[in-house]
Structure 1
Amino acid sequence: MATTTTKIGLKKPSITDEIETTINDLSTNFQKIDDLSEEYASSPPLSGNFNATKRFWNNYSLSSGYVGWTNIRTGTCAPVWEKLKLYSVGSVVVPERDNGHFYTVIQTGHSGWTEPIYPVSDNGQVNDTRGANIRLSSHLYNLNDIALPTIDNGRWYLCIQAGESSNLEPTWPQVDGATVIDGNVTWRSYRIAKWKESGPAALFKPFGKIE
């Protein structure tokens, strides 16, 4: 009968074991060794699910910096949100300032000019239109202001030429990147991206500072 090693619990087949039992034990051993083997990377991961304590060693030979990164929270890795980026359904991000959560796009669209205020409640949702307001007539708009049509059309509009809006609301374009002149203001069209809270985010921290 096989016995087990003390440190990592590998099975040591006995000479009396049957061949099938021995092969299964060795297969289990190989998988356990692989699971426990060290991994190397040039930076923390931006995708995948990881348990707390997962560690990656820095594979660059450095005279300064850190020797690696360790995960301090079980969860999902994702890249940090970026402004004016087209996100497709299923894309994931984490906030620039960690809040313990990651977010999934549930409506394809462009992110806004300013990072949204993310909900932290389970499955909470938010449109990526922070700072947006319904467009006003005869109003002075500044560069990078965001306007929404009086009648929602699923899009937001970025001010790319500052000025005063017209008395009449323009006919809003429905194509990403298309522009429209509104008095002295020029607007650029983007479809609204929508985010949903999707669970805990992994958080990798550097360790082993090299002086």
Structure 2
Amino acid sequence: MATTTIKLGLTKPEYTDEIEHTIQALAHNFQKLDDDSKTYVDAPPTSGVWPSKHILHANQLSIGGYLGWVNIRSGTAAPIWKSLNSYSNGAVIVPNKDNGHFYTCIQSGYSGLTEPIFPVSNGGEVQDTRGANQWNPNHYYSVNDISFPTTDNGRFYVCIQAGESGDVEPNWVIVDGATTYDKNAVWASYRIAKWRESGTAVLYRPFGKID
């Protein structure tokens, strides 16, 4: 009669077992060994759903580096938010500073220059236009200032040439990256991205620092 090992729970077939059962037991053993084998990576994952206590080992070791990473919170992995980056509907991100949540893009567009204050309430939404203000006439704008048209068109505009705005609001271009000339100032157009809180994010932490 087959028995099992103590640590991994592998099946130890007996010579009296039927061949079919022995083959199934060996297949189970191989899968168990594969599941329990070490995984080597260059960095923690940025996609997928991962359980807590999931351990990854570093491909490259160096003084001052770490042996690997361990996930201390079950959840979804996602890339870190980037400024002025194009995002499509369904794309997911996490804030640069962990807040325990991940976010799904619900309106394709571009992120702003400054990371938004992401909501932590279930299903909370945020528009990615932190630091933007409504356009004003005869106002001096610096490079990287962000403005909205006085009539919402679903876009924000980044100043790419400093200067004074005109006394009449310009006709805002609505093509991504295209420029609008506003007396001495020049603006680049971007469609606004929007985000929705979508659940718990993973949190991989390094372990085993190499001194």
Q: Tell me the TM-score range normalised by the shorter chain.
A: over 0.9
Match of 2:168 in 1: 168
Deviations 1:56-100 (CA, angstroms, capped at 9, x unpaired):
111214233111111111112222111111112222211111101
Count of aligned pairs between the two proteins: 211
- Alignment partner of 1:181 is 2:181: yes
Structure 1 runs of 4+ off > 4 angstroms?
A: none
Task: Work out the CA distance in 2 between the residues paired with 1:61 and 1:85.
Answer: 32
- Alignment partner of 1:46 is 2:49: no
How far is 1:146 from its partner?
1.0
Match of 2:72 in 1: 72
- Alignment partner of 1:36 is 2:61: no
How far is 1:186 from its partner?
1.1
SS in 2 for 1:29: helix
- Mapping of residues 100-119 of structure 1, within 5 Å: 100-119=100-119
Task: Work out the CA distance in 2 between the residues paired with 1:121 and 1:16.
Answer: 60
Match of 2:13 in 1: 13
Residue 178 of structure 2 aligns to which amino acid in structure 1? A
Match of 1:142 in 2: 142
TM-score, normalised with respect to structure 1:
0.93
How far is 1:20 from its partner?
2.6
Deviations 1:77-132 (CA, angstroms, capped at 9, x unpaired):
22211111111222221111110111121221111010011111122111111111
Task: Work out the CA distance in 1 between the residues paired with 2:125 and 2:19.
Answer: 56
SS in 2 for 1:26: helix
Moved more, 187-196 or 14-23: 14-23
SS in 2 for 1:82: coil
Task: Work out the CA distance in 1 between the residues paired with 2:3 and 2:122.
Answer: 46
SS in 1 for 2:20: helix
Task: Work out the CA distance in 1 between the residues paired with 2:56 and 2:84.
Answer: 31
Task: Work out the CA distance in 2 between the residues paired with 1:32 and 1:122.
Answer: 37
Task: Work out the CA distance in 2 between the residues paired with 1:10 and 1:120.
Answer: 44
Deviations 1:5-45 (CA, angstroms, capped at 9, x unpaired):
21122222233433332222222222221111111112222
SS in 1 for 2:34: helix
Task: Work out the CA distance in 1 between the residues paired with 2:171 and 2:20.
Answer: 74
Moved more, 143-152 or 17-26: 17-26
Residue 187 of structure 2 aligns to which amino acid in structure 1? W
TM-score, normalised with respect to structure 2:
0.93
How far is 1:138 from its partner?
2.3
Unaligned ranges ≥5, structure 1: none
Unaligned ranges ≥5, structure 2: none
Residue 101 of structure 1 aligns to which amino acid in structure 2? H
How far is 1:154 from its partner?
1.3
Residue 124 of structure 2 aligns to which amino acid in structure 1? G
